[in-house]
Amino acid sequence: MALNLAKKIAWTILVNKGLTFDNCRQNIRGFYSRSRPVNDVEMQKEVKNLPAISDMIYDHTLIPTFENSFTKWIQNNSLNKCDGLENYQADISQGATQAFDSFYINHANKNIKMFIGEYLYHIVVRKNLNKPYSFIKSTNDLAPGDALILSVPFCDTGNDIPNLNEILKACDEKNIPVLLDCAYYTIAQGLNINLNFNCIDTITFSLSKTFPIAHARVGMRYTKHEFQDGQKLHSNINYDNRISAGIGLHFINKFPSDYIWLKYKKTYNKFVNALGLKQSQTILFADGDNQWKEYGRRDILQSYGLEDDQNLYHNRICITELLENIKLSEKVLNVIN
Q: Is the pTM here over 0.85, yes or no?
A: yes
Q: Are strands 178-181 and 146-151 parallel, antiparallel or unpaired?
A: parallel
Q: Report the share of the chain in percent with pLDDT over 70.
A: 99
- Rounded CA-CA distance 177/181 in Å is 13
pLDDT in tens, 244-296: 999 999 999 999 999 999 999 999 999 999 999 999 999 999 999 988 988 87
pLDDT tens string 107-137 = 999 999 999 999 989 989 998 899 999 999 9
Q: pLDDT at residue 238 above 90?
A: no
Q: Which domains does the chain have, with CATH numbers?
A: 2-41+262-336 (no CATH), 60-254 (3.40.640.10)
37-72 pLDDT, tens per residue?
A: 999 999 999 999 999 999 999 999 999 999 999 999
- Is the pLDDT at 104 greater than 80, yes or no? yes
| 128-140 CB burial, b ≥16 within 10 A, e <16 | eeeeebeebeebe
Which pLDDT belongs to residue 138?
A: 95
